[in-house]
Amino acid sequence: MSIFGFSHPAAGAFSHGPARSSALLLARLSVAMDPPVPTADPNPGWTRAPWSGVVQPPASASSAAMMPPPPPRPRAPSAGDEEVHGRFDRAALFQPADISAYFDESADVRVGGGDVFRVRTARGSTRGRGRASIAVLCLHGCALSGASFALFARRLAERGGENFRVDAMDLRGHGSTRTADDRDLSLDTMAKDVADVCARLYRDDDDDDDATNDDGNTNVQVVLVGHSMGGAVAARVAQLDLVRNLRGVVVIDVVEGTALASVRGEAMRAAVASRAGKTFATIGDAVEWCVRVARTTSNVESARVSTAHALVPLRGDAGGDGREGGDGARGWTWRVDVAKTSAHWEGWYEGMGERFLRARCAKLLVLAGTDRLDDVLTVAQMQGKFQTVLFPNAGHAVHEDEPERCAEAVLGFAARYASP
């Protein structure tokens, strides 16, 4: 698997470097099992410094990090299954799912010079508009869309209750978002996009045109959650303090050292080439390819919901886009040509570790394994500068593979640091 969520036979997850020393590994594991209390405030400006290691939410909320590992998720179907178990119903298994079952609202947020960003919202257990005091904004990885957070958002909103809203936006050049220049995926451009969208979604009483945000609340506390490329964007937004009332940033399975090693490797180029020009007769075929070939996620339900929103009809098709669960076009291809984003790869990840560490809000790093940590973050973690939670049974798309447990971890983090 690559940092873009698809794999190639020659590509290992994150292209790991040489094995670390046993002493360093033991030190890292000891942090997760028995986190030390820092002697100095690692986040200046806070009234209470966080401790390092595994997240410990309030007693009222359980922590995914403290739960025993779940039973292994049934693996995705493979070609061999047909020989052993007989033919399974592909059409039913990989049928695209209606995203409205996971998000309560979908809106187009217009900012600046007319750029329009698609934002989907999952609300608390009341499943209706309320006075949410905590907003979690999710930023997806390259070539994906906000729909990749569907299962995670539904679970987090329901567990968070009426005080929570979970928003997932389609970043520039992705999903249903449309901008004047969809090709400008530079880090600072996307960070500004996020800041502009937040300013519209979470308005406060200092704004001229509206005294309150759309929930009727003047003091929404914001937590950013970013996966892969979205994690780099979230870290940049947090470093520059672009969002008012930003209380926390969560980065999912991306760190500078391993990301740079991956994008510079031949295995990455092979993985990208395997995706280039790919077309599908139906959305269901694309779902199957993501699960069985690219292995974007092991969670078939998540793939059924999210895959359609990374596709566009083939040029010349007159049918409806079918992305809300139908299949109106005669053929489909990826909206994002990943190869054309390569000019931005190093800009996303170079210096990301320092950007993440300089953020003055609470910080949580969600990883699929301890080998994801690079040297800078390993040292910083041992110094108590951020928190870590591990999901060793998940792949790169942790929030898709383990949506319930990932939501529990973020809930505990948000409840601790974003409660008004």
What is the tens place of the pLDDT at every residue in 370-395? 777 888 899 999 999 999 999 999 99
Do both 284 and 258 map to the same domain?
no
Residue 159 lies in a domain: yes
Do both 31 and 166 map to the same domain?
yes
| Token duo for residue 164 | 């929570």
Q: Which amino acid is at 200?
A: R
pLDDT at 290: 95
Q: Which amino acid is at 378?
A: T
Section 290-299 average pLDDT: 94
Residue 4 lies in a domain: no
Do both 188 and 63 map to the same domain?
yes
CATH assignment at residue 356: 3.40.50.1820
Do both 302 and 163 map to the same domain?
no
CA atoms of 352 and 363, how far apart (whole Å): 13
pLDDT at 354: 96
Q: Which amino acid is at 308?
A: A
What is the chain's percent helix, strand, coil content, to nearest 5? Answer: 40, 15, 45
Residue 2 lies in a domain: no
Do both 258 and 175 map to the same domain?
yes
Do both 208 and 321 map to the same domain?
no
Do both 17 and 152 map to the same domain?
yes
Residue 48 lies in a domain: yes
> How many structural domains does the chain have?
2
Which residues are catalytically annotated? Answer: 228, 253, 396
The pLDDT tens digits for 193-222 are 999 999 999 985 344 444 345 554 458 999
Section 18-26 average pLDDT: 32
Which domain-ending residue is among 303, 336, 369? 336
Which domain-ending residue is among 292, 312, 336? 336
Do both 170 and 306 map to the same domain?
no
Sign of the alpha-carbon dihedral angle for 357, 367, 182, 275: positive
The pLDDT tens digits for 122-174 are 998 655 565 789 999 999 999 999 999 999 999 999 999 988 999 999 999 99
For a pLDDT cut of 70, what percent of the chain falls above it?
70
Do residues 58 and 43 touch, judged by C-beta distance below 8 A? no
Residue 342 lies in a domain: no
What's the half-sphere exposure (Cβ side, CA atoms, 13 Å) at 124? 15
Query: Domain range for residue 97?
Result: 75-101+279-336
Which domain-ending residue is among 291, 311, 336? 336
CA distances from 383 to 28, 80, 412 (A): 11, 48, 21
Residue 182 lies in a domain: yes
The larger pLDDT score, comparing residue 191 to residue 46, is at 191
Question: 0.75 exceeded by the pTM?
Answer: yes
Residue 310 lies in a domain: yes
pLDDT at 2: 63
Which of 32-41, 104-113, 349-358 has the least mean pLDDT?
A: 32-41
The pLDDT tens digits for 70-94 are 545 545 555 444 544 445 688 899 9
Do both 302 and 358 map to the same domain?
no
Do both 194 and 325 map to the same domain?
no
Do both 258 and 324 map to the same domain?
no
Do both 413 and 353 map to the same domain?
yes
CA atoms of 374 and 382, how far apart (whole Å): 12
User: Strand 221-227 vs strand 134-139: parallel, antiparallel, or unpaired?
Assistant: parallel
The pLDDT tens digits for 220-260 are 999 999 999 999 999 999 999 999 999 999 999 999 999 99
pLDDT at 375: 86
Residue 192 lies in a domain: yes
The larger pLDDT score, comparing residue 360 to residue 14, is at 360
